Structure 1
Amino acid sequence: MFRRVTLSVPKSVVTLALLLVSIAAVITPAHASPTTPGRTAPSSPDGRCSGMTSSPRIGASPGATLAAASNADLNAELDLARDAGLFSVRVDIDWSTIERNRGQFDWTNTDRVLAAVVAHGMCPLGVIAYTPQWARVPEAMGDSHSRPADPDVYAAFARTVVTRYRDHMNLWEIWNEPNIVGFWKPKPDVAAYSIMLRAAYQAIKQVQPASTVLSGGLAPATDNGTNMNPKSFLSAMYQLGANKYFDAFNVHPYTYPWLPNDPSTQEWSTAFALWPMRDTMVAGGDAGKQIWLTEFGAPTGTASNAVSEQVQADSIVIVMDAVLGNAWIGPSYVYSLRDAGTNLADPEQNFGLLRRDFTPKSAYGRIAAFTGAYS
């Protein structure tokens, strides 16, 4: 077992369109960006959307494809997420597209997606990430996954985001996978990330003291001089005192094509590493903080590292059982909701609980059964 315990078709868009109109009418201008007065996203979050709880909660992390979806497809995906009993949807709040030019904000698509999530009765988790060109470090000027040159400028954007949406959402994640070069260019830097985390945390808490602020979910990686192992990254954050600036730690325990409880993977598995990371947190005085999993899952398809739909479902159930058996593991988000494409040879297109045509894979029913029993 994976516990210690031991390590172990689209519907009409009329409803959504009406919601967007009603939302735009109720926000007070003080909460909206000066460039888009009178617009906002959804209605107030309920008690499930913030704080720590021992109740097992499962969400979805659809990735960037959700923002690219048409209204019809967005509505259909969220219908199916709600029907599976998912409590939350993780949404990119992409600084690089919202503020392409400094001081000029375009919230249109972000408002649309957040409104749809709440209209379906789910809590949005906002990932505040990715750097517009004007704010990047010179060494990574050509990539939005550059780290911000000035952490206070990033924190100012985070404050603007939370000010805009504070009546509608209260779960925030500070960046995505800062321990790997793919998301923190020119290379991972614990000190630089920790400084940015502190600045953003303080800015968010000034606006929304009761919010839940997560550290950026760490990716599976090895210490190879470029990327950093999540355990090493977390230990360094504690040495720097950065743990004071997150309400919950956050990691992405992918193990595919192996199952999360495969004993042969213990030396490198991020899933098995949850327990040593928990030990680091307890030793650092944070026994009361949870570890959230804002991405987990496995790709189906024909790629060499893909798995069958049965193994995908089994992988997800193993992680959900760990959530059920360990109160210190917090809300956990399956990546992803719907396949990003139809090329079975590309693993990135095949992480969905749903195929591209919205038909469910085996894992969808397993999640629905779990949430029906425990949520």
Structure 2
Amino acid sequence: MSANAPLRSIAVLAAVMLSFVAPPGAGAAPVVRTQSSPAQCGGESDAVRIGVSPGAAIASLSSTDLDRELSLAKDAGAFAVRLDLDWGLIEPTRGAFDWALSDRIIDAVVAHGMCPYGIVGYTPRWARVPAAIDNPHARPADPAQFASFARTVVQRYQDRMSLWEVWNEPNLVSFFAPAPDVAAYSALLRATYQAIKQVQPNSTVLAGGMAPAETTQGNITGTTFLSSMYEQGANQYFDAFNVHPYTWPYLPNDPGTSSWNTAMKMWPMRDVMVAGGDSHKQIWITEFGAPTGTNPNSVSEQVQSDTIGIILDAVLGTDWLGPAFVYSLRDSGTDTSDVEQNFGLLHRDWTPKLAYARVDAFAAEHSAP
């Protein structure tokens, strides 16, 4: 790892910010894009690719609202939609599978000309580690059982999907109960990667996205987690690494945040990968954004837009950064005081925030058609 990596990352992001043009106004009309086949879902592309990560709430939408959300995502230039494939929901009873929700959402994404990107994750009660038996985000007791589920998922959807993520935010206590464990996650990743590749050799398999975290209260920083994975040889079992560089309420290039800023830490993470012989692998950004609203930790629509713009311009200027998925497409609720309900590019009533026009304009200029 380079000793000057944090300074280098600040410099890169600062240069990105200086290159900004004025964002389009909130009333700017979206660019109309034709639908295309999801055949362009592969892991490598010279073009900047923007996706959306709408969260689990997308599964509860009516058919009308689902069509409207996906149409707006496509109109804004999204090439892919990141979706949960929750083992606990699909196989709540061992051997009894319920594909209704995942079939519906995946088919809708494909029908809108976008690529489904599946997070294979979480655990039904019957397969959890005993220490977290009541936690739906508990890790599985047996990595082989989880890998078997992943194989079943890929067998079902291989004609529609080729992008897979193994778990989500395994560096957090809240998502890898009872506590993050690099050895346990590495074993899970190894078994699952091999199972997916046996069915779909040309698929792209990502490690679970690293959440912003400090090594405290059981959580593990993304850089430390990644370094430990390399020490265990787990890097052999991902085609791309994966980071969630949230920095709100601060901008991603704020130099005063360099001690903890996950966006800036992507450069030290890259150094770990290069030192480990993986200079050919990218870091994908499968969640990023900022919440608007009235909470003291929320940001203005302008700051949300600038946050997204900084990350997208960093991707544009950095060949080892892969696709970037905005979290999220539409606010999940109407309570403006609840941070979690207000990450959308759109308000709950479908009206666009400034960031929607910014993403649309960026995609029109820089993304593949």
TM-score between the two structures when normalised by the length of structure 2: 0.90
Distance 1:80 1:149 in 2: 40
Listed one character per residue, the Cα deviations across residues 254-293 of structure 1 (whole Å, up to 9, x for unaligned) are: 0000000001011110000000000000000000000000
Given that 2:150 and 2:195 are in contact with CA atoms closer than 8 Å, whether structure 1 keeps it comes out as yes
- Aligned equivalent of 2:149: 157
- How many aligned residue pairs are there? 340
SS in 1 for 2:167: strand
Distance 2:57 2:326 in 1: 14
Amino acid at match of 2:285: L
- Aligned equivalent of 2:127: 135
Distance 2:142 2:323 in 1: 31
- Aligned equivalent of 1:358: 350
SS in 1 for 2:118: strand
- Aligned equivalent of 2:12: 6
Amino acid at match of 2:13: L
Given that 1:303 and 1:347 are in contact with CA atoms closer than 8 Å, whether structure 2 keeps it comes out as yes
- For structure 1, which runs of at least 5 residues remain unmatched after alignment? 9-42
Is 1:224 aligned to residue 230 of structure 2? no
- Aligned equivalent of 2:252: 260
- Aligned equivalent of 1:344: 336
Kindly state the Cα deviation for residue 2 of structure 1 after the two structures are TM-superposed: 9.6
SS in 1 for 2:284: strand
- Aligned equivalent of 1:197: 189
Given that 1:61 and 1:335 are in contact with CA atoms closer than 8 Å, whether structure 2 keeps it comes out as yes
- Aligned equivalent of 1:326: 318
Distance 1:3 1:228 in 2: 21
Distance 1:250 1:92 in 2: 16
Distance 1:83 1:3 in 2: 32
Distance 1:364 1:219 in 2: 24
- Aligned equivalent of 2:32: none
Is 1:291 aligned to residue 291 of structure 2? no
- For structure 2, which runs of at least 5 residues remain unmatched after alignment? 1-6, 15-35
Kindly state the Cα deviation for residue 225 of structure 1 after the two structures are TM-superposed: 4.7
Kindly state the Cα deviation for residue 51 of structure 1 after the two structures are TM-superposed: 1.9
Distance 1:121 1:153 in 2: 33
SS in 1 for 2:208: strand
Listed one character per residue, the Cα deviations across residues 202-243 of structure 1 (whole Å, up to 9, x for unaligned) are: 000000000000000010000115000000000000000000
Question: What does 1:1-375 correspond to in 2, within 5 Å?
Answer: 6-8=12-14, 45-46=38-39, 48-375=40-367
Amino acid at match of 1:114: I
Kindly state the Cα deviation for residue 4 of structure 1 after the two structures are TM-superposed: 7.5
Listed one character per residue, the Cα deviations across residues 74-114 of structure 1 (whole Å, up to 9, x for unaligned) are: 11100100000111100111111100000100000100000
Listed one character per residue, the Cα deviations across residues 10-51 of structure 1 (whole Å, up to 9, x for unaligned) are: xxxxxxxxxxxxxxxxxxxxxxxxxxxxxxxxx9731x2012
Distance 1:5 1:258 in 2: 16
Given that 1:98 and 1:105 are in contact with CA atoms closer than 8 Å, whether structure 2 keeps it comes out as yes
Kindly state the Cα deviation for residue 128 of structure 1 after the two structures are TM-superposed: 0.5
Distance 1:99 1:159 in 2: 13
Distance 1:55 1:195 in 2: 33
- Aligned equivalent of 1:24: none
Given that 2:9 and 2:265 are in contact with CA atoms closer than 8 Å, whether structure 1 keeps it comes out as no
Q: Which runs of 4+ in 1 moved over 2 A?
A: 1-5
Kindly state the Cα deviation for residue 7 of structure 1 after the two structures are TM-superposed: 3.2
Instruction: Give the structure, 1 or 2, with the largest relative contact order (CA under 8 Å, sep 6 or more).
Output: 2
Distance 2:84 2:258 in 1: 32
Listed one character per residue, the Cα deviations across residues 183-205 of structure 1 (whole Å, up to 9, x for unaligned) are: 00000000000000000000000
User: Percent identity, aligned pairs only?
Assistant: 63
Kindly state the Cα deviation for residue 304 of structure 1 after the two structures are TM-superposed: 1.5
